[in-house]
A and B are shown apart, each in its own frame.
Chain A
C-alpha cells in the first residue's frame, strides 16, 4: 500500500533552516510528481511546492519562493524540502503528497510540524 512518511520537523528560530524528508513506499516513486502542502495551526491548506517525476520541473508558491528548495532522490524513494530564512508565518504542519496527471492529490503523508519561534 502507498505510504508517505515525513520527518525533520521541529522548533527553529526565525531566520533558521530546516530540511524535511518524505520516505515513499508502496509505489514506483520515480513515476510520480510530488508536492509539499502545509497547514498553519487552525488554518486551511496551502500548496507550497511541486516537483516533476524526474526533478526537471519545479514550482513554488510565491510565499516561499527564494527561501525553500524542493528536491527528490528517486534512487532513495525520497522527497525533500530545504527551508531557509524561516519566518513565524511558516509555522505549520507540512504534508508530503503524491500528485496525479490531472493535478489532484491521491495520497498524503501524516504530516510533520514545523514551529518557527524565538
Chain B
C-alpha cells in the first residue's frame, strides 16, 4: 500500500511569517494529493488539492507544490494569521484510488 510521511509534526511561526509542511509518498502511480485542515475538535476539511499533471497550485495565501520525480509535495502558507492555527494532513491514494493514506499530521501554531 501507499506510505505517506509528513514533516514536521509541530510547527510554530510568528504571525505574518510563512509556514511549509512537507509530505513524501511511495506509490509512483498516485496522481491526486489533497491537504486537509482540522481545527481543534472539528472535522477535517479540504483546503487545497493538486493533480499529478500540475506542478503547483495557488489559492490566495495557500499553495501546494508537487515533485513527482522525487515523490514529494508541500503545503505553503504565506502571511500566516492566528486562524491558520490547526492540524494539517496530507494524503495520497493507493493505486486503485479507493484508499487514501493520510500523513500523521502537522500541528501549526501561529503566534500573534
Bound together: no
Residues of B within 8 A of A (CB): none
